[in-house]
Amino acid sequence: MTSPPRHIAHLHLHGPLTEDRYEEVLDLLHGITPKIVAIPPNAVQLDLTGALRYFDREPYEVLQLARLRIAALFGIDTSAGLGPNRMIAAMAAAAAPPGRTVHVDDRTEAAAAWLRPRPVAALPGVGKATAASLARYGLHTIGQIADLPPATLQRILGAAPARALADRARGIDINPVTPHAPAERLTADHILDRDCLDPAQHHAAVLALAEQIGIRLRDTHQVTNSLTLTVRYADRSSSTRTRRLPEPTAHSPALAATALGMLNSLGLQRARVRAYALRAEHLDDEDTAYHQMLLDPTDERARAIEAASDRARRRFGHDAVRPGTLANHPATPPNPAAR
């Protein structure tokens, strides 16, 4: 059985970047996919394959969404490469000018065609000494290496290095994007096309983010102990509030109450808002959490309805069920952060 194509993105972050800001960018990207490999101090790789169905978008569109969020929330410019594996994505990113994306098609023949004219030294693992050895035999491009008989390449480099180089020259890289650790935080964000001064829209946006966070936590059987709300304004300044929850939860109404409390504490009134981000922190497994039982049956009914809604979303898609208060809010698919 042929395995489905992978869609790997490699991002370069341009401009001054502190360690804390780099961690914030990683947190944001976990809102796109949990399969992230950090490459400090200013690069990161993402496996977008599992996010495509969740977002119902093409790989290039999901990558541009990630770049847009980084620019809107942090003012950081990026360049990117997109390809069928980690090696090609990294090489494409290296060839991308600042602010641009180089997309290498995931078809084997397209990737091989993109590699052929590039210099041998562009391949990972080919240093100056190896490139010089190959140049003495008139081998300057990746295409020339791909066309070379295996025995000839082995006589030049030795058996093991020759096999590795031949695979790379043909665009073969089976190394997966493996996260070093599960996400400790989940972030949902909403970026506006234009400045917003309407308090009702602020309320709806934050309510939608709380709903997204709740769905993602329940999908991954996690709970959160605290929430952080960040509101970014048209002048690129921002306000941040953090609150601890009364109890660890993934229940959307409880998350919404805390998130809206933080929003109200900002007193935005006529502030010109450009973006919102809600982050769930101090995540735990749902089995370790406690829940204060209430005598009011309304709470249990609400949780039962929430569970039924989650089942409907998993079967029919994330727009199958939406809170009535968000009926007119722009639909933003929940980000597959810890899947």
The reply to whether 200 falls in a domain is yes
Q: Do 12 and 100 fall within a single domain?
A: yes
User: Cα separation of 30 and 283, whole Å?
Assistant: 14
Instruction: Tell me if 174 is assigned to some domain.
Output: no
d(CA 313, CA 198): 30
Judge if 22 and 96 occupy the same domain: yes
This prediction's pTM:
0.61
Indicate whether 145 and 237 sit together in one domain: no
Locate all alpha helices (DSSP H) within 81-198, ordered by sequence: 86-95, 108-115, 128-135, 142-147, 150-157, 159-169
Residues 235 and 321 in one domain: yes
Residue 71 shares a structural domain with residue 165: no
Rounded CA-CA distance 141/285 in Å is 51
pLDDT in tens, the chain (339 residues): 456 678 999 999 998 888 888 888 988 898 888 889 888 889 999 999 988 888 889 999 999 999 999 998 888 999 999 999 999 999 999 999 999 999 998 887 888 899 999 999 999 878 888 889 899 999 999 999 999 998 999 999 888 889 989 999 988 887 888 765 555 678 888 888 889 999 989 999 999 999 989 988 888 788 899 999 999 998 888 899 999 998 888 888 999 999 999 999 998 877 899 999 999 988 887 765 555 544 455 656 666 767 776 676 655 555 555 565 565 555 444 443 332
Task: Judge whether 179 lies within some domain.
Answer: no
| DSSP β-bridge partners for residue 228 | 242, 279
- What is the CATH classification number for the domain harbouring 42? 3.30.70.270
278 and 200 both lie in a single domain: yes
Residues 140 and 101 in one domain: no
* Helix or strand run (H / E) with residue 192: strand 186-196
Within a domain: 192: yes
Are 134 and 209 in the same domain? no
233: left (phi over 0), alpha (psi -120 to 50) or beta: beta
Measured distance CA(332)–CA(310) in Å, rounded? 16
Say if residue 205 is in the same domain as residue 240.
Answer: yes
CATH code of residue 293: 3.30.1490.100
Tokens of 270: 């006529």
Q: How many CB atoms lie within 10 A of CB 57?
A: 16
The residue segments making up the domain with residue 148 are 118-169
Residue with tokens 């050895």: 133
Q: How many residues does the chain have?
A: 339
**CATH code where residue 143 lies:** 1.10.150.20
| DSSP string of 273-331, one letter each residue | EEEEEEEEES-EEGGG------S-HHHHHHHHHHHHHHHHHHHH-TTSS--GGGTTSPP
Pair 105, 123 in one domain: no
Q: How many domains does the chain have?
A: 3
Same domain? 153 vs 278: no
Q: Is residue 16 in a domain?
A: yes
CA distance linking residue 222 with residue 72, whole number of Å: 28
Question: Does 104 map to a domain?
Answer: yes
d(CA 142, CA 171): 10
- Flag whether 232 is in a domain: yes
Task: Establish if 1 belongs to a structural domain.
Answer: no
Q: Does residue 200 share a domain with residue 322?
A: yes
**Which own/partner pairs from 162-165 qualify as long-range (CB within 8 Å, at least 24 positions apart)?**
164/125, 165/123, 165/125, 165/126, 165/130
Q: Tokens standing for 20?
A: 């804390």
